[in-house]
């Protein structure tokens, strides 16, 4: 009894499409629109956190908004602001204060997006 050879063509086509998709996804997501780096944060009081972060963006000619968050010991968000970034340089650092409703233990850059 001979094994059926009908599966080889569909398997080959699926493998080719899968490999092409992996290359496309890798190239498309290799250079995101924004890249942020948390440099430091300091707890100023129970109601305020200072955060220093760096932003690299592909298109320096458009305005952007970065969402900054402060979290407590249980990882609940206790403070959040939208930091407005004007058109200008592609790479820069910012220092911003985040008001909080209770004591925070950490601060993060949640995301940046074009306005």
- Look up residue 51 and give its two tokens: 């955060």
CATH number of the domain at 59, please.
2.60.40
Close Cβ partners of 113 (under 8 Å, ≥ 6 residues apart): 33, 34, 64, 65
Residue 106 located in a structural domain:
yes
Residue 78 located in a structural domain:
yes
pTM, 2 dp: 0.74
- Whether 1 shows a pLDDT value over 60: the answer reads no
Q: Domain range spanning residue 80? A: 34-114
Residue 101 located in a structural domain:
yes
45: three-class secondary structure by DSSP: strand
Structurally, the chain folds into a number of domains equal to 1
Residue 14 located in a structural domain:
no
Residue 27 located in a structural domain:
no
The arithmetic mean of pLDDT across residues 47-57, rounded, is 96
- Whether 3 shows a pLDDT value over 70: the answer reads no
């Amino acid at each position: 009894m001979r094994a059926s050879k009908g599966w080889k063509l569909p398997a080959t086509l699926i493998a080719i499409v899968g490999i092409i998709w992996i290359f496309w996804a890798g190239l498309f997501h290799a250079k995101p629109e924004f890249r942020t780096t948390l440099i430091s944060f300091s707890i100023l009081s129970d109601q305020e956190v200072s955060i220093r972060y760096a932003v690299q963006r592909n298109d320096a000619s458009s305005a952007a908004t970065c969402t900054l968050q402060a979290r407590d010991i249980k990882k609940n968000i206790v403070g959040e602001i939208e930091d407005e970034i004007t058109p200008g340089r592609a790479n820069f650092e910012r220092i911003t204060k985040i008001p909080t409703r209770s004591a925070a233990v950490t601060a993060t850059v949640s995301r940046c997006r074009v306005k």
